Structure 1
Amino acid sequence: MTIHARYIKPNMQIIHVNDQEVQFMLSPLEKGFGMPFANLLRRVLLRYTPGIGIIGLSIKGIDNIHPYTKIPGVKEDVAEMLSNLRSILIQRYKGDTLSMCIEKKGPSIILAKDIQHDEHTVIINQEQYVCTLDTEAQVFITIYGNIGYGFVPSSYHGYQKNIMFCDTVYTPIKHVSFYTRTYVTYEEVIFNVQTNGTCLPIDAVKNAFIFLNAKTDLPIIK
């Protein structure tokens, strides 16, 4: 004999939303289910929301590049420059990989808005500092990126003697928090999700539910 239980199907109510933040409520949920489900959704948002990340750079005229390579006429070494480049916020509308370049003569302060890219790429924080060139400096820097999830160490990207790879943080999620309310027969969970502006927070939430659905939509055991 099989007993078919009647489960509660929650609804999603948007409380507040803009380009970088969404607050929503899931209700009703079975008592005792709100906290574990909220923790699961939070982990999916933080770990499996796709984003664009910088994976490395190459500099014309420099082989066997390493983190402490000094570029003639440039104030920063390679490690400092990569640290600045990793702070650039990028939107990518077509393609999974990214190649951009900086071609500049000194004296000059290079910002993110000086980076050359294709029409499918948008840099959000145009004023992000990259490096400073002295009077005689001239550089041609190629910057590489791709789409990924979470955090990836530099060793994952492989090795090429003329490319300096770096650790990459892909996630566009800046913050996820939640709290639960418990009533006599059900619970509700209120979420707050913030992104860095490279993706809409409501899209990140939709992606998280699609991910969970893909993992749980399994054939029923007969």
Structure 2
Amino acid sequence: MIENTSFAIKIVELSDDKRYGKFECEPLERGFGITLGNSLRRVLLSSLDGVAITSIKIDGVLHEFTTIEGVREDVTDMILNLKKIRFIAHDEAVFPIQVRIDIDKEGIFHAGDMQLPSEIDVLNTDLEICTLDADAHLGMELTIDRGHGYVPFNKNKKNDEIGIIPIDSIFTPVVKCNYKVSDTRVGNEMDYDKLTLELETDGSVKVEDAVAQAATILIKYFENFRRLATKQIPEIDVDEIEPEIEEKDDSPDLSVIPIEELELSVRAFNCLKRAEINMLDQLTDKTEDELTRVRNLGKKSVDEIKEKLAAYKGWGLHLKDNDE
């Protein structure tokens, strides 16, 4: 078995808005550059959550193969433009969200002109949706939802109500992702991999958080294989699984939130990182006694961590009780 699985992750490039980043990971055992790079790339491009329009309803329009008086674009072109809108959702957002739009102003209507609830915002505000002539009116209702990857229009069709047009939805927040594997040296040996991961997001998620979320998803899947050794494999009767029925859990998933979100002092942050406490679920699973045993983490820093957890987004997070 490979004993040493540790490697360094270096941020080579990072844009000011954190939409673009390039990371170098080395040294990796031979072959793990492709294994990790390909796995991360696939998950980054297909499995991260995002927000997109899933259906539209336009006043006086029964289907997409038509035109609207006073609107220069036909409905098909408008739909293509609506698909390109990128949203960012805030923590209080509850989906799906219904948005009503009424346009009476002559000229170009941009994505940023939409009046949206406070839970969501448009990222690409300059995107042109349609152009109205003088005295034209356009009214429509949008359904905005959360999902992951790409969802075709037929899966967004919830009912047969006349006039509702389901559309393809691109939820993934990762716009581009590539990786490269090259040789690297450890001492006098060149038999190691260096993985270079490059990605760009739409701005709804920071590149570091995107990579962390992708890694967390992979870990959750691999955990099922790890249970083979302990014979703790959950037995699932696939015939009893009911599709399209989902139990919604309103509790936050702390396993995808890095400790950077707490905005800790440099000392407290570095101590946690050295102890390999990277995500909020790892932190909240520690007792106060366990934290005080972390090297160089004094009582003042522990108190700071407790305060930051309690204040974070009003979730009332806390450390694990000592008697748990």
**2:109 maps to what in 1?**
110
Shift of 1:106: 4.3
Task: Indicate the RMSD between aligned Cα atoms, in angstroms.
Answer: 1.8
CA contact 1:56–1:82 (8 Å) conserved in 2: no
Shift of 1:118: 0.4
Further displaced range: 84-93 or 182-191: 182-191
- Asked whether 1:11 is paired with 2:8, we answer yes
C-alpha distance after superposition, 1:140-173 (max 9, x if no partner) = 2111221111111100011432211111111121
**Structure 1 residues 136 and 5, CA, compared in 2 at 3 Å: closer, same or farther?**
closer
- Asked whether 1:80 is paired with 2:86, we answer no
CA contact 1:99–1:117 (8 Å) conserved in 2: no
Counterpart Cα distance in 2 of 1:59 and 1:53: 17
Unaligned runs of 5+ in 2: 185-189, 231-324
Further displaced range: 153-162 or 178-187: 178-187
Counterpart Cα distance in 1 of 2:122 and 2:172: 16
Percent identity of equivalent pairs: 27
Counterpart Cα distance in 2 of 1:10 and 1:195: 25
C-alpha distance after superposition, 1:2-45 (max 9, x if no partner) = xx652423332222222211111222211122112211111111
Select the structure with the greater relative contact order (CA < 8 A; seq sep ≥ 6): 1
Counterpart Cα distance in 1 of 2:196 and 2:57: 45
**1:202 maps to what in 2?**
208
Unaligned runs of 5+ in 1: none
- Asked whether 1:67 is paired with 2:71, we answer no
Q: Which has the higher strand share?
A: 1
**Which amino acid in structure 1 is aligned with residue 123 of structure 2?**
I
Match runs of 1:71-220 below 5 Å: 71-93=68-90, 94-158=93-157, 159-183=160-184, 184-218=190-224, 219-220=227-228
**2:36 maps to what in 1?**
37
CA contact 1:8–1:28 (8 Å) conserved in 2: no
**Which amino acid in structure 1 is aligned with residue 179 of structure 2?**
F
Tell me the secondary structure at the aligned position of residue 211 of structure 1: helix
**Which amino acid in structure 2 is aligned with residue 87 of structure 1?**
K
**Which amino acid in structure 1 is aligned with residue 171 of structure 2?**
Y
**Structure 1 residues 122 and 106, CA, compared in 2 at 3 Å: closer, same or farther?**
closer
Under a length normalisation based on structure 2, what TM-score does the superposition of the two structures give?
0.63
Give the number of the structure whose alpha-carbon radius of gyration is greater. Answer: 2
CA contact 1:34–1:188 (8 Å) conserved in 2: yes
**Structure 1 residues 96 and 120, CA, compared in 2 at 3 Å: closer, same or farther?**
same
**Which amino acid in structure 1 is aligned with residue 47 of structure 2?**
Y
Aligned length: 217
Counterpart Cα distance in 1 of 2:164 and 2:124: 25
Q: Which has the higher helix share?
A: 2
**Structure 1 residues 6 and 116, CA, compared in 2 at 3 Å: closer, same or farther?**
same
Tell me the secondary structure at the aligned position of residue 58 of structure 1: strand
**Which amino acid in structure 1 is aligned with residue 9 of structure 2?**
M
C-alpha distance after superposition, 1:30-80 (max 9, x if no partner) = 112211221111111111121111212112344xx2111222322222111
Counterpart Cα distance in 2 of 1:145 and 1:151: 14
**1:23 maps to what in 2?**
22
Counterpart Cα distance in 2 of 1:179 and 1:113: 37
CA contact 1:151–1:171 (8 Å) conserved in 2: yes
**Which amino acid in structure 1 is aligned with residue 195 of structure 2?**
V
